[in-house]
Every structure is written in C-alpha cells, then in structure tokens.
Amino acid sequence: MSIARDAAIFTDKGKVARMVDDAEKKLLADVGRRIRETRAVQGLSLEQLARLTGISAPALSLIETGKRDPRLTTLRRIADAMRVSLATIIADGSHAAKASDRAPSGGYDLGEYQ
C-alpha cells in the first residue's frame, strides 16, 4: 500500500498533519544546515540570532535541524539579520539549470490534477 505524497494524517489530538516526503525533508535539512553554518561563521549564537530576527531560539533551532518548515518571510528575516541574500540560504547548488532542463520537450502530464 502506498500513501499519496500529500496525504493527511490525524495526530493523537485530532489535528491534521501533512506527511512530508524524503525530498522535502532533505531540502529542509539542507536549508537549516546553511543557516547554522552561516550563523557560526559570523560568530552569532542562536540567542543572538533570535534577538535580531524576533524569532524564538527554540523555533530557530527547529529550523536549523530541519524539523520545521519555515515560511519564505521567515527565511527572509533570517537572511536579513545575517546580512546575506535569501539565495545564500535556499540555494542548493543545482539552480544553474540549462535551457534544456527548464521545459521538458514532451510537456507536463497534468492528467492526475484534472
């Protein structure tokens, strides 16, 4: 039995949570690692970054460990506080796509979304 990528599950408190696939987990971990590395290079503690961003230290820790999926505006606040571009935090090194990689010649199969 397979579970759909965006399947919802119910927690013990009755809340609905979306299951995160492995690619998303890797992305969150990579972004968190880049934030932590940048913070460390700049000599900032988690508490100092929390003061600069207005985001609590525990929330920042969850972001840095890839356990929280931050909003784009949150990532922007972190980047601004560390005086780096947002791209520095979210870039994974594979963003330099060739023109041939941008649009598949066969188009997209949107059949499952209709």
Domain assignment of residue 109, yes or no: no
Domain assignment of residue 77, yes or no: yes
Domain assignment of residue 111, yes or no: no
| Tens digits of residue pLDDT in 22-59 | 899 999 999 999 999 999 999 999 999 999 999 999 99
CATH number, domain at 50? 1.10.260.40
Q: How many independent structural domains does the chain possess?
A: 1
Instruction: Please state the rounded mean pLDDT for residues 71-88.
Output: 96
pLDDT band at 108 (very low <50, low <70, confident <90, very high): low
Domain assignment of residue 44, yes or no: yes
Domain assignment of residue 59, yes or no: yes
Domain assignment of residue 68, yes or no: yes
Query: What pLDDT does 95 receive?
Result: 44
Domain assignment of residue 49, yes or no: yes
> What is the 3 state secondary structure string of the chain?
CCCCCCCEEECCCCCEEECCCHHHHHHHHHHHHHHHHHHHHCCCCHHHHHHHHCCCHHHHHHHHCCCCCCCHHHHHHHHHHHCCCHHHHHCCCCCCCCHHHHCCCCCCCCHHHC
Whether 10 and 16 have beta carbons less than 8 Å apart is answered as yes
pLDDT band at 102 (very low <50, low <70, confident <90, very high): very low
| Percent of all residues in the chain with a pLDDT value above 90, rounded to a whole number | 60
Q: Which domain holds residue 62?
A: 22-91
Q: What is the pTM of this model?
A: 0.68
